[in-house]
C-alpha cells in the first residue's frame, strides 16, 4: 500500500514538473526577516554563547591544567582532535613578544606560514609589518597568533567546526598573554571570538570589551591584511583602526 502511494506521489510530481512548475510555495507567507533567536538566547552573554556552542563538539581540548605558554604549545602540538593537522606541515603557534601588552589575532596560516611555522610571514605579513611600523610598533613589540593554528587545505576559510574546536586554544592563549588591548584581523577572527551578526565592514573600528576567564580585554576588530591587498581602497579604514589602537595603548 505504501509503495503504491509513493508511486502515485512520484507520478504527481512528474506531471507538475512537466507543467513548468519548479518551485513549491507554501499556503501562508513566512516572515524571513524575523529572527529565529528566542529572547533568552538573545540575552546570553558572549561566554554563555561560547559555552553552548562548544557543548555540541565531541572532541575538545582539556586545558584546565595549562598555566604557561610552553605547556599550551606542547599540548597543541600533540592534539589530534582537529583534522587540519594531518595536511599541515607545521603547527603555527605564535610570533612576537610574549610579554607584550598588545595581541593581534588572525585567521589561519597560509602557505608561507605553514612552511615557516610562524604567523603572518607571507605578503600579508609584510603589509602587517608596515602597518605596525606606521604607529611605532613592530613584530618585536606585539604578540601575534591565529584562531586556527593549522593551515586549511588550499588556504580555504576554516569551517565552523574547525573554528569551534580550536577556540579554546586561542582563548587560553589570550588568558596567558593577558594583553591590555586585542586587535582581531579579519572577519574569521572577529566572528570566532565575537560571534557578531554584522559583517566586518560594519563592526570594524568599534571597541568591544571581551572576557577571557577573569580577564577583561578591550578588543578592536579590523580588516585582515590579505583583504587589504585585494582591496587597497580599504586601507584608509585600517589606518583609522590603527590610530585607535595606538591611542588605546597610550591611554592604558
Q: Which residue has the cell 588550499?
A: 154
Q: How far apart are the first and last CA of the chain?
A: 76
Indicate the pairing of strand 95-96 with strand 143-146.
antiparallel
d(CA 233, CA 225): 12
d(CA 68, CA 175): 10
The count of other CB atoms within 10 Å of the CB of residue 76 is 22
Q: Domains of the chain by range and CATH?
A: 65-251 (3.40.470.10)
Of 222, 218, 221, 219, residue with least CA distance to 235: 222
d(CA 131, CA 144): 14
Is the pLDDT at 72 greater than 90? The verdict is yes
How does pLDDT run across 124-181, given as a tens digit for each residue? 999 999 999 999 999 999 999 999 999 999 999 999 999 999 999 999 999 999 999 9
> Is 53 within 8 Å of 46 (Cβ atoms)?
no
pLDDT bin (cut points 50, 70, 90) of residue 36 is: very low
Of 133, 164, 142, 156, residue with least CA distance to 239: 133
Give 159's DSSP letter.
Answer: P
Is the pLDDT at 13 greater than 70? The verdict is no
d(CA 124, CA 189): 15
Q: What does the pLDDT average to over 33-44?
A: 42
d(CA 224, CA 201): 11
pTM score, whole prediction: 0.78
Long-range contacts from 214-219, C-beta under 8 angstroms, 24+ separation: 215/174, 215/175, 215/178, 217/174, 217/179, 217/180, 217/181, 217/182, 218/180, 218/181, 218/182, 218/248, 219/181, 219/182, 219/183, 219/184, 219/193, 219/194
The count of other CB atoms within 10 Å of the CB of residue 52 is 11
pLDDT bin (cut points 50, 70, 90) of residue 252 is: confident
pLDDT at 47: 55
Q: What does the pLDDT average to over 12-30?
A: 46
Indicate the pairing of strand 181-185 with strand 208-212.
unpaired
Amino acid at each position: 500500500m505504501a509503495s503504491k502511494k509513493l508511486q502515485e506521489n512520484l507520478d504527481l510530481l512528474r506531471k507538475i514538473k512537466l507543467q513548468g512548475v519548479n518551485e513549491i510555495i507554501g499556503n501562508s507567507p513566512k516572515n524571513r526577516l524575523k529572527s529565529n533567536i528566542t529572547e533568552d538566547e538573545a540575552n546570553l552573554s558572549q561566554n554563555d554563547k561560547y559555552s553552548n556552542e562548544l557543548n555540541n563538539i565531541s572532541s575538545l581540548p582539556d586545558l584546565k591544567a595549562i598555566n604557561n605558554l610552553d605547556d599550551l604549545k606542547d599540548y597543541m602540538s600533540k592534539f589530534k582532535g582537529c583534522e587540519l593537522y594531518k595536511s599541515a606541515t607545521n603547527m603555527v603557534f605564535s610570533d612576537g613578544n610574549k610579554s607584550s601588552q598588545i595581541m593581534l589575532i588572525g585567521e589561519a596560516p597560509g602557505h608561507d606560514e605553514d612552511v615557516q611555522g610562524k604567523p603572518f610571514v607571507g605578503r600579508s605579513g609584510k603589509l602587517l609589518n608596515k602597518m605596525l611600523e606606521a604607529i611605532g610598533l613592530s613584530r618585536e613589540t606585539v604578540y601575534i597568533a591565529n584562531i586556527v593554528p593549522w593551515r586549511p587545505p588550499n588556504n580555504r576559510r576554516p569551517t565552523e567546526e574547525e573554528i569551534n574546536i580550536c577556540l579554546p586554544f586561542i582563548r587560553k592563549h589570550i588568558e596567558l598573554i593577558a594583553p591590555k588591548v586585542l586587535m582581531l584581523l579579519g572577519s574569521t577572527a572577529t566572528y570566532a571570538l565575537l560571534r557578531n551578526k554584522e559583517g566586518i565592514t560594519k563592526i570594524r573600528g568599534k571597541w568591544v570589551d571581551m572576557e577571557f576567564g577573569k580577564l577583561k580585554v578591550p578588543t578592536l576588530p579590523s580588516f585582515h591584511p590579505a583583504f587589504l591587498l585585494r582591496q587597497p581602497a580599504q586601507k584608509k579604514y585600517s589606518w583609522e583602526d590603527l590610530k585607535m589602537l595606538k591611542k588605546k595603548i597610550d591611554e592604558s
